[in-house]
A and B are shown apart, each in its own frame.
Chain A
């Protein structure tokens, strides 16, 4: 049957009208039982692998759809992304660490944790939980993590006993260290501690970093976990200062020795975990966070990350037996940095690194 131009126009217009009507009423016709959807930001490497594994279990009993986005660079990068669009961010749950929790609490972006849903928060030690000025609990801590010096034993059988040793010629080009804004300046603080300073008296640390850079000891400046893991795994670099996750991923394939009990230096401890942004489907987000905080899941999560669980009843990965400290060792070997202060100097430290350190590394 031949189709006239008028018939064709009628069919097209009718079709378009139906399609438009369908689109417009789509939202209204959504069934009440439709599952919520959460966009969760997580680190790459081991973090995302284990998170997906746990989420698969979560989805056996909870229909909430989980979409993932990975941190690009340090966790602080997500703060800038949110700021650019706030309050219209698409993110719901963020996996971050202490300094980033503090920055977001300061901006008043987070929902206080609803303990009637996140029931597992009750058994997590209170000192791990980040709070706002009103004392409300704002984070669900999942890991006790740390930043340490260490090396690959197969490449450096002798190792080193002090950060000062790293100035020796045999370490030329062997060091992989974080960009100062990575780990919120802990590398500079570690160097400062080495020379009798601290985060508020960082000048001795800058002097040591300058010595390391001008002697050509710093071979690579890494900006994220994947870069660090690749650098250490490739054998290009054998000594580094990084977080437990980077070390753990390296240690799964190569013999690694953490220098976390040096007589003249200290390692850093902090917490990582979840927080929920305002405007998120709160019930779904808290149920999701609660599932990860459940002791069995908390154990599984941390077994895969090389970090300590925050649930006292969860077992620690036996491989990490000497990575963390017994209570009586804490004062001797652990350092709890003032992240609020570090957050306030990051801009200056970043500019100073660009002006004073990179040119030295370049020449070295």
Chain B
């Protein structure tokens, strides 16, 4: 009976997810003639589209995507965990409601608005242009563009991470922390060995959601990357929308998906095995 509950979702989702994915895979194998729109349906299937993106220069775009996404995620976790901890453990009820409302509220604000607001505030002519200079980065340099992309991604991932961790921390009984301290554990040790350790599944979930958002993002690098910070999504977009090279765009999409899934399972395996090891 329980398994039967899965069927309605499977029946709807399978064609919605698998159908387009198969179509994408098929498109990625079609030959492309420059100047035409889309792949050549009559031509023999080929791996040329994959060979083209195997050029070493394209590795940089994949690395940039994963690296910038990771930096944004790291900052979102570093800032989001203390924020969630404060909201759950320290904040008065009114402050808690206000902070949670604020975090949820930012998610309702259009990403375009948020990104332009960041560009106006931290850009070369913005009131907080000094922020990037403080970090030794010229605001109008390519590194300045990367900083804008990191800030833009964090703008969405920080509320996501904080809200996910609020739920996690709420489920950790504060008496466990009190028990650790009553047995002589210092506050920092209690935090790392009880609170943070018990939050790991939540941190992992929040991290996966936020990282998936970062590496698949198109809008943020497009609006503030100034053409020098391009994610793989941007390359895919240009192929589909500007040069109509659907096969190459499809090949990039498939490669990106395979790498992302591999990375996801790799990280999951790494964290789970270490965490379970620590638990023993």
Contact = CB atoms under 8 A, between A and B. Distances in A.
B55 interface: yes
A76 B125 contact: no
Contacts of B222: 223
Given A73-B242, A80-B240, A350-B243, A355 B55 contact: yes
A179 B243 contact: no
B207 interface: no
Given A76-B242, A80-B246, A345 B34 contact: yes
B226 A220 contact: yes
B124 interface: yes
A236 B123 CA distance: 9
Given A73-B241, A79-B244, A361 B35 contact: no
A236 B125 contact: yes
Contacts of B246: 80, 83
A181 interface: yes
A81 B244 CA distance: 9
Interface string A161-204: 00000000000010000010110000000000000000000000
Contacts of B226: 219-221
Interface in B27-84: 32, 34-35, 37-38, 52, 55, 57-58, 60-61
B37 A79 contact: yes
B142 interface: yes
B37 A361 contact: no
Interface string B136-162: 001011100000000000000000000
Of A345, A346, A347, most buried by chain B (CB within 10 Å of CB) is A347
Contact of A362 (B32, B228, B242, B243): B228
Contacts, number: 107
Contact of A80 (B58, B228, B244): B244
Tier of interface size on chain B: 35 or more
Interface in B225-280: 226-230, 235, 237-246, 248
A77 B230 contact: no
Nearest to A234: B125
A227 to B, nearest CB: 8
Contacts of A363: 142
A80 B142 contact: no
Given A236-B140, A355-B55, A347 B238 contact: no
Contacts of B230: 354, 358
B10 to A, nearest CB: 27
Contacts of B34: 344-348
A217 to B, nearest CB: 12
A109 B280 CA distance: 67
Nearest to A213: B228
Interface in A337-364: 343-348, 350-351, 354-356, 358-359, 361-364
A219 B140 contact: yes
A222 interface: yes
Nearest to B242: A181
Interface in B179-237: 222-223, 226-230, 235, 237
Interface in A80-112: 80-81, 83-84, 103, 106-107
21 contacts: A74-B242, A76-B242, A77-B241, A79-B37, A79-B244, A80-B38, A81-B241, A83-B38, A173-B138, A181-B243, A234-B123, A234-B125, A344-B34, A347-B34, A347-B245, A350-B243, A358-B228, A359-B60, A361-B227, A361-B228, A364-B142
Contacts of B241: 72-73, 76-77, 80-81
A17 interface: no
Contacts of A22: none
Interface in A259-294: none
Contacts of A350: 238-239, 242-243, 245
A312 interface: no
- Across the A-B interface, the 9 shortest Cβ-Cβ residue pairs: A221-B227, A344-B35, A77-B241, A355-B57, A220-B226, A181-B242, A347-B34, A83-B37, A361-B228
